[in-house]
Structure 1
Amino acid sequence: METETSFSHVASPIFDGDNYQAWVVRMTVHLEALDLWEAIEEDYDVPPLPANPTMTQLKNHKERKTKKSKAKAYLFSAVSSTIFTRIMNLESAKDIWDYLKKEYQGNERTKNMKVLNLIREFEMLKMKETETIKDYSDKLLGIVNKVRLLGKDFSDERIVQKILVTLPEKYESKISSLEESKDLSSISLAELVNALQAQEQRRMIRKEESMEGALQAKA
């Protein structure tokens, strides 16, 4: 109970109409941690109490009724004001959950179109000269994670290949070095990014040292 109480202070992930797949995963875990998922999954009825209820019956009745109300309240707090106006008249937490699923998850055809658009975006992306390895890899992973959330496989190997063929010319020496020391067809994404970041950092250090030397020479 103490854990549940402390977790209740964790803010619900807010859904504003975008990235439904990511929100629904986070919200499901959030509700499970609060022991409220049953109220959404089953939408059970809470029967009236008998004439002379026992303490156990009173407790169970209150708990089950409270869970339904809490689940609804958490869903209300987990959407933007625009979406709230569309769900505020729905009766139960399950009604709200089902409405959002129907409205934003889309059918298989819609999901496939989203996947195609994301893959097109992935394929067209190239690293800019001023961009860091971290920024570029994060951008690629952001697209890939959206594809995966839509239920489609997307291997890390494909991301590795994408990075290798779209890096600016200044990274060619590092790629050549990696080719000599490793099998690039089996290198992990983390290993590649770390190696490229290390070179990036060394280049930055040399640049700073060069600038300091130039300033000292002028002085």
Structure 2
Amino acid sequence: MKAILGAHDVWEVVEKGYTEPEDETTLSQPQNESLKDSRKRDKKALYLIYQALDDNDFEKVSSATSAKQAWEKLQTSYKGAEQVKKVCLQVLRGEFESLHMKGSESISDYFSRVLAISNQLKRNGEKLEDVRIMEKILRSLDPKFEHIVVTIEETKNLEEISIEQLMGSLQAYEEKHKKRALSNKLDEKVNYVKEEKEDNGVVLLAYKNNDGDQDYTWYLDTGASNHMCGRRSTFVELNESKSEVFGAFKKFKATIEKESGCKIKAMRSDRGGEFTSKESQEFCEANGIVDL
């Protein structure tokens, strides 16, 4: 309210008032003009005071005949309110000191919570500098921000940055932390294998032979072995030259597709050079074949 009265150049008449003469007829022309000006400014100040009050406060000053008198009545009525303000300050100070960021809380939400209490403290007369607010925030952040807090404390002077700049730095770190956590979560899902157990276990292949003859032993293809039998004569066609493998594969593809009427869409190789060459890759891409 002082700011409003000062802006209208009437605070002086509110603070000091003016004196009404007992007999105006004795006043000179300049004195009469000065009196008129004082009365005009006083009424203007009283009007501004009335405009700033609610119904309850207006009743407290409705009997005042001057702006100075109205101001004094307001001061008297608010003396009791000063005691309430002191109690309120004590409560707010306790809340400010006990502030801590919740694990599920974002930087933006925590800053809003801290600033809400800080502004209440300031409105109740507490001198609270931005540096103190920033120090409190850094002390009370969630442990996951420990690394960025140490970096800020070692590289930045809090007296030279604003609360908004501090919040921006912490939010940038928060976004990186979220992306890293999401990436790790996706990796865990990709690498996760669900184990399902059944009452009746099934063994895919069990073989025991003590005679040492492995010629006719066949192995279940696990994707790790290159051959499924140790006897050469068992194979209809066996190409041992890597340089001819790709050409043999193309002939094999043409024969199979002609006989079956179906297209080869995938194959499994040992990732040897004959399968990873530029010629092989271009051929597979052109024919829609995926190397598993």
Which TM-score bucket, shorter chain as reference? Answer: 0.5 to 0.7
Distance in 1 (alpha carbons) for counterparts of 2:73 and 2:18? 18
Is the Cα contact below 8 Å between 2:107 and 2:170 reproduced in 1?
no
Question: How far 1:110 sits from its partner (Å)?
Answer: 5.1
**Is the alpha carbon distance of 1:41 and 1:206 closer, same or farther for their aligned partners in structure 2, counting shifts above 3 Å?**
same
Among 135, 139, 145, the alignment partner of 2:122 is 145
SS of 1:50's partner is: helix
SS of 2:100's partner is: coil
Distance in 2 (alpha carbons) for counterparts of 1:124 and 1:202? 24
Residue type matched to 1:49 in 2? Answer: E
Among 198, 202, 205, the alignment partner of 2:169 is 198
Distance in 2 (alpha carbons) for counterparts of 1:73 and 1:112? 31
Residue type matched to 2:25 in 1? Answer: P
Describe how 1:10-25 pairs up with structure 2 within 5 A. Answer: none
Is the Cα contact below 8 Å between 1:134 and 1:197 reproduced in 2?
no
Aligned identity (percent) is: 26
Distance in 2 (alpha carbons) for counterparts of 1:84 and 1:192? 39
Residue type matched to 2:141 in 1? Answer: L
SS of 1:196's partner is: helix
Distance in 1 (alpha carbons) for counterparts of 2:174 and 2:67? 55
Count of residues paired in the alignment: 176
- 1:20 is matched with none
Is the Cα contact below 8 Å between 2:96 and 2:117 reproduced in 1?
yes
**TM-score using structure 1 length:** 0.64
RMSD: 3.3
Structure number with the higher helix fraction is 1
Question: How far 1:193 sits from its partner (Å)?
Answer: 4.7
Is the Cα contact below 8 Å between 2:60 and 2:73 reproduced in 1?
no
Residue type matched to 2:14 in 1? Answer: I
**Is the alpha carbon distance of 1:177 and 1:200 closer, same or farther for their aligned partners in structure 2, counting shifts above 3 Å?**
same
**Is the alpha carbon distance of 1:205 and 1:171 closer, same or farther for their aligned partners in structure 2, counting shifts above 3 Å?**
closer
- 1:71 is matched with 45
Is the Cα contact below 8 Å between 1:127 and 1:136 reproduced in 2?
no
Among 90, 112, 118, the alignment partner of 1:135 is 112
Question: How far 1:187 sits from its partner (Å)?
Answer: 2.5
**Is the alpha carbon distance of 1:108 and 1:75 closer, same or farther for their aligned partners in structure 2, counting shifts above 3 Å?**
closer
In structure 1, the gaps of 5 or more residues are 1-26, 211-219
**Is the alpha carbon distance of 1:180 and 1:65 closer, same or farther for their aligned partners in structure 2, counting shifts above 3 Å?**
closer
Question: How far 1:57 sits from its partner (Å)?
Answer: 3.4
**Is the alpha carbon distance of 1:179 and 1:60 closer, same or farther for their aligned partners in structure 2, counting shifts above 3 Å?**
closer
Give 1 or 2 for the bigger CA radius of gyration.
2
**TM-score using structure 2 length:** 0.50
- 1:61 is matched with 35
Residue type matched to 2:69 in 1? Answer: D
